[in-house]
Amino acid sequence: MIPVLKNSDYQIIKTLIENYHPSQRTKEMGTLQTELRRAKIVDDPLINHNIIQLNSYFEVKDIRSGNRLCFTLTLPSEANLKEKKVSILSPLGVALIGFQEGKEFEWELPAGVRKFVIEKVEQPIQEKA
C-alpha cells in the first residue's frame, strides 16, 4: 500500500524530521522518511476524508484479539496518551499516516507483529473564518 498525504501534512512532517539533529533521529523517523518518499502527495482539498492525516481521530482493531485502539494522530508536542493523542513519530503513527479506513496493516509490538484493520477515521471539524 502506498500512503496518501495531503501536501500541508507532507511539508509539516518533512520539516519536523529535518529539524531533528541526525544524532536525535529514531528508527521511526527513518521509517517515516521512507514512507514520505514513496507517498502520493495530493493537494489539500483533494484528500479523501477517510485517510488518516495529522489530527485525524481513528479506531483500529486487532484482528486476532478483537481489541480496539482509539487515538488522534498529532505532532509530538501535542501527544498525550492520557488524552488518547499519539505522535506521528510513534511506531503506530508511522504505521498509519496516509492509510484509509478499511485497510489492514501490520504493527510490531513488543509481543510480536500483529495485524490490525482501520475501522474508523474522522477529521476534525474545520472552523470557518
Q: Can you spell out the DSSP letters for the chain? A: ---EEEHHHHHHHHHHHHTS-GGG--HHHHHHHHHHHHPEEE-GGGS-TTB--TT-EEEEEETTT--EEEEEEE-GGG-BGGGTEEETTSHHHHHHTT-BTT-EEEEEETTEEEEEEEEEEEPPPPPP-
Supply the pTM of this predicted model. 0.88
CA dist 71 and 120 (Å) reads 11
The residue ranges of the chain whose pLDDT is under 70 are 110, 126-129
Q: Whole-number mean pLDDT of the chain?
A: 91
| Residues 33-43 pLDDT 10s | 999 999 999 99
- Domains of the chain and any CATH numbers: 4-122 (3.10.50.30)
